[in-house]
Structure 1
């Protein structure tokens, strides 16, 4: 039966026939019509064909549906309703639609991700021109194979926030590392961060397997890491007003613990961070981590090395907890533990640690992250 001269009555006649051959011919004819003559179909004809397909699609052999999906996957005239129907079928039917059909919208793909099989989700991860919202839905599955497939898809639009999250995850998920560094859209600062984390993981593996002094290994490994990081990216230094003021106060020898605390009490957080960085000799990015991290041990190290007393440390600890969130709460025992650590820490030991942090904060922070991960595994 030629598809170019078939009418609605003939389609209905075919639909009433229950043989496999008649159903196969019906789907073939309608596939041809949607693919080749969609622009001349009336709204009534389209609605009739779609209604027939929706009612009969569950009764048709998988091979027939697969051929229909292959035929219509690239058709711009494919009705969205039919595309959704095929995309939610078994994977051998859904695959060409999920991979190639341009009529599926983001919300349709996200629904498939949330309700269909892992094979459906992996297929979507390979789809060209994936939007950021669909990429986020794929990452939210938490499936490592899905996420790795997404990262390997250079046509996928992955937001900077999501890339940053995946870079963070790559500290402990090795299979994310290679596809991340190969992405053309990976920001330079994230690429640089990954260099340090991969090196820190390598360092931990070497220490686990061989009897090597950690300081000796750091002395050998750090120059190599710095060189690789420099090639990966040059960190952009943002010279804002707070940093300029803090630097000027430091040069004029006007930075004091009292001024630091006054600034923090006034809620001028950005200026406090810049002044704290200038006084400690650490980079601003590391200071913002140290100032607000749970526990306060790193904060105790920096303040003890700077010569601040117990009361000044306690004040900074309390005010930085409050600055992190207006609703932030912590148990009184947190302060007690932080003060106990501060009291046990000698000035000389704190200065030694601070000197190491000044060497290269990114590398050292990466080491610390790996070591903390090892401790959690052992706990």
Structure 2
């Protein structure tokens, strides 16, 4: 049997491979139509800016490159005896990316957690810069971190220094070629390392004909070594929460410290202070604070009974504009602390538990309410 090819109008035999290829093309077309539909009706507040798109894609590429470079270097230096010289030469060529093209073809990097995290990082940088610019424009000055660094308590001064180091590692990577993986949560770092290992396995076995058993042994050894050296405690989030806990033990998580963190543009510390006062984890507090969820920040500060002047300063520093600021303060004045506390209660639930509840509710809704055996 023969059939016309819609693109080339050529006649060729219909076989299993062609049917599979056409099905794949049709599926891709459906994905494109779905993406166009979503983009057409997506609210403006949910659209990514060009800067966000470019920066997140760049971050993902640099993360993969950092992991891949580490894995390839270890393969060449620690497992050279297992592989042919041609394969070792290819692995040793830093100019040629191997894992990223494989992962892109497989859509392995379309990971909700990874993209969400990197988008939050982009917004954190922008908001932190805005906080500093607004403070400078208003002539506000704070020496909170300087005072903590000079504190007589070595634990407190060390925690302040750890925050500064983590901040520098986080915020200056926008200009660096290598993105530090120590700043990734452990679960994402774990997945990223194994993704890269799987992509390199595909390249080594399929294109170079390397023995799969040798490849698997080498990659598992290298990946395990890399994973064992990862310290999630080096992240900015961990450093900020640790400092906030120490401040809380001394009774220093008051509105004055909150405003000082805002004036200095210490966004991570600002988030950590609010999280500690509200009984939230860092991620939940960050989700409530970063745009486009300014209404949640109003709820959070009202629930904590933050004094009006401090709340106004923080909301104004976040830059909603005059009209937005006026509406925000009207809402702040109208809300009762008890109402606000009840409203933020869902965010006080453990993150894993909260995600499980949301996932379960979604699946039950898809199948209909009630018990389905």
TM-score (norm 2): 0.38
Larger Rg: 1
TM-score (norm 1): 0.37
